[in-house]
C-alpha cells in the first residue's frame, strides 16, 4: 500500500476534524458579519425614523399620535349599505369634521370620543353619525361645531390617555363617550393606574415598541396588513348563512358570572374619565353601546338574532347579555355622577337594516343613530 494511503488512514480523523473546525469558524465569522450588518442597518433606520417617520404609527412611546390634514378613499365592492367609494378626511387636529373656528367660545362645541362604531372608518365623512349630529343641531342652533375623534379599537383606557394628551387643550363644551364594547373581558386593563398609565409595560412587545421607533413601525405595519387583509375586500358577513348555537341556561349563567372580575375595573376607569373631563371644565355625556345581536328575530330578514353564533361558545343572546352588563355600569356611573346618559343600546332598534355586521352601522344605521342622539341631546340642552 502506498505510503500516502497509510498516512491518510492513520490521520484521516485529525484531517476531518481540522476541516470541520475551519468550516465552523468560517460559518460563525459570516454569521457575525451578517449580525453586525443587520445591527448597523437597524441603527441607521432607527436614527432616520426618529428624525422623520413616513409610516406615522398611531401609537408612539405609549402615547397616541394623530394623522393630520389627510384625505383618502376606499373602494367598496362587497358590502351593501355603504358607499362604493368611501371618502375619509382628517383636519388639522387629526379628527373628522370641520376645522376649529376662530370664535370657538361662541359655539355649541362637542367632540365624539369612541371606538370603531363611532370612528366609522367605512362610512364617508358626510354620512358618519357625528357629522349628521352636527348637521341636525344646526337646524336649532346658529353655531355648532362637532368633531369626531373616535379611533378603532379604543377603550376607556385609550380615552383617558387621549383626554389628557389632547382633548383638555381644545376646551369644548361637551365630550360624548360611546363606551362598552371594547371593555369586554379586558383583564389587562384592571391594573389601570399602576401598570398602564404609569408607562409600565404589559408585555415585551410593549417595552420594545416604546423604546424603538423601528420596532414600533414594524408592529404597526403588521397590524395594518392584518387590518387590510380582513378589510372590506375580504368581508364575508352574511346573516342568512350564519350558524345557529344553542346554549344551556347553566352555561349562560357561568359565562355571565365570569364578567364580574372585569366590571369593577371598567366602572373605575369610566368614573376617572368623567372626573378628569369635568375637572377640565368639559361636561361628559355617556352613551351605551348597541349591537345587532339579541332581542329575538331580525325584523328585516327574520333571522333569529338570539341563536345566531357570534363567536366561540357565544350566541347572539349571550353576547347581548354580556354587553348589557357593561352598559349597566355605564348607566350606574351616569346616575351616580349626574351625567347625562343617552341609552343608545335600548333606543336603536335591533335590525340588520342598520348594521353591515353585528356591531358596525351602515349608512342607514349611522343616520338613525344621529337622529336618536340629536333628539336626546336637544332635550338635554333645553333643560
Task: State the pLDDT at residue 220.
Answer: 62
Task: State the pLDDT at residue 230.
Answer: 47
CA distance 373 to 137: 10
101 and 28, same structural domain? Answer: no
Q: Are 306 and 298 in contact (CB under 8 A)?
A: no
Task: State the pLDDT at residue 282.
Answer: 97
307 and 268, same structural domain? Answer: yes
> For the chain, which residues score pLDDT lower than 50?
192-201, 230, 234
135 and 90, same structural domain? Answer: yes
The one-character DSSP state at 163 is I
Other residues' Cβ atoms within 10 Å of the Cβ of residue 174: 19
Residue 150 buriedness (CB in 10 A; 0-12 / 13-18 / 19+): buried
Does the residue 178 lie in any domain? yes
Does the residue 17 lie in any domain? yes
298 and 334, same structural domain? Answer: yes
pLDDT tens for 227-267 read 555 455 545 688 888 999 999 999 999 999 999 989 999 99
Beta bridge partners of 287: 178, 342
144 and 42, same structural domain? Answer: no
168 and 39, same structural domain? Answer: no
Which strand (E) or helix (H) includes residue 311? strand 309-311
Does the residue 65 lie in any domain? no
Does the residue 68 lie in any domain? no
Q: What CATH number has the domain bearing residue 358?
A: 3.40.50.1110
Cell of residue 268, nine digits: 373605575
Beta bridge partners of 178: 287
Does the residue 211 lie in any domain? no
Task: State the pLDDT at residue 281.
Answer: 96
139 and 31, same structural domain? Answer: no
Does the residue 348 lie in any domain? yes
Task: State the total domains in the chain.
Answer: 2
The end-to-end CA distance of the chain, in Å, is: 114
Task: State the pLDDT at residue 129.
Answer: 98
110 and 29, same structural domain? Answer: no
Full residue range of the structural domain in which residue 316 is found: 76-201+232-382
340 and 253, same structural domain? Answer: yes
Task: State the pLDDT at residue 62.
Answer: 57
Does the residue 224 lie in any domain? no
pLDDT tens for 166-190 read 999 999 999 999 999 999 887 665 5
256 and 293, same structural domain? Answer: yes
Does the residue 319 lie in any domain? yes
118 and 14, same structural domain? Answer: no
Q: Are 156 and 271 in contact (CB under 8 A)?
A: no
87 and 5, same structural domain? Answer: no
pLDDT tens for 326-345 read 999 999 999 999 999 999 99
Residue 308 buriedness (CB in 10 A; 0-12 / 13-18 / 19+): buried
Task: State the pLDDT at residue 15.
Answer: 62
Amino acid at each position: 500500500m502506498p505510503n500516502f494511503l497509510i498516512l491518510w488512514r492513520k490521520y484521516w480523523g485529525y484531517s476531518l476534524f481540522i476541516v470541520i473546525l475551519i468550516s465552523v469558524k468560517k460559518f460563525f465569522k459570516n454569521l457575525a458579519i451578517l449580525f453586525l450588518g443587520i445591527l448597523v442597518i437597524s441603527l441607521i433606520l432607527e436614527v432616520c425614523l426618529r428624525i422623520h417617520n413616513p409610516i406615522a404609527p398611531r401609537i408612539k412611546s405609549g402615547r397616541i399620535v394623530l394623522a393630520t390634514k389627510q384625505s383618502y378613499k376606499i373602494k367598496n365592492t362587497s358590502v351593501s349599505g355603504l358607499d362604493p367609494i368611501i371618502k375619509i378626511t382628517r383636519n388639522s387636529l387629526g379628527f373628522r369634521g370641520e376645522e376649529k373656528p376662530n370664535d370657538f367660545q361662541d359655539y355649541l362645541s362637542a367632540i365624539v370620543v369612541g371606538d370603531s362604531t363611532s370612528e366609522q372608518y367605512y362610512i364617508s365623512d358626510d354620512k358618519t353619525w357625528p357629522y349628521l349630529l352636527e348637521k341636525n343641531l344646526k337646524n336649532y342652533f346658529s353655531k355648532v361645531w362637532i368633531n369626531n375623534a373616535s379611533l378603532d379599537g379604543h377603550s376607556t383606557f385609550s380615552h383617558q390617555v387621549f383626554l389628557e394628551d389632547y382633548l383638555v387643550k381644545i376646551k369644548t363644551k361637551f365630550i360624548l363617550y360611546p363606551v362598552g364594547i371594547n371593555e369586554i373581558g379586558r383583564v389587562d386593563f384592571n391594573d389601570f393606574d399602576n401598570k398602564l398609565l404609569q408607562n409600565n409595560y404589559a408585555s415585551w412587545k410593549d417595552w420594545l415598541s416604546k423604546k424603538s421607533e423601528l420596532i414600533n413601525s414594524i408592529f404597526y405595519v403588521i397590524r395594518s396588513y392584518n387590518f387590510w387583509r380582513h378589510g372590506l375586500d375580504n368581508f364575508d358577513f352574511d346573516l342568512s348563512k350564519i350558524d345557529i348555537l344553542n346554549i344551556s341556561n347553566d352555561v349562560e349563567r357561568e359565562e355571565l358570572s365570569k364578567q364580574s372580575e372585569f366590571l369593577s375595573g371598567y366602572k373605575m376607569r369610566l368614573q376617572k374619565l368623567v372626573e378628569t373631563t369635568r375637572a377640565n371644565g368639559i361636561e361628559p355625556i355617556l352613551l351605551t353601546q348597541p349591537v345587532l345581536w339579541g332581542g329575538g328575530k331580525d325584523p328585516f330578514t327574520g333571522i333569529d338574532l338570539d341563536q345566531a353564533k357570534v363567536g366561540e361558545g357565544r350566541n347572539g343572546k349571550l353576547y347581548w347579555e354580556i354587553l348589557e352588563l357593561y352598559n349597566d355600569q355605564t348607566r350606574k356611573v351616569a346616575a351616580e355622577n349626574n351625567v347625562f346618559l343617552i341609552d343608545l343600546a335600548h333606543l336603536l332598534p335591533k335590525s340588520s337594516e342598520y348594521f353591515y355586521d353585528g356591531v358596525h352601522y351602515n349608512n342607514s344605521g349611522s343616520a338613525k343613530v344621529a337622529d336618536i342622539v340629536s333628539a336626546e341631546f336637544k332635550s338635554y340642552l333645553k333643560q
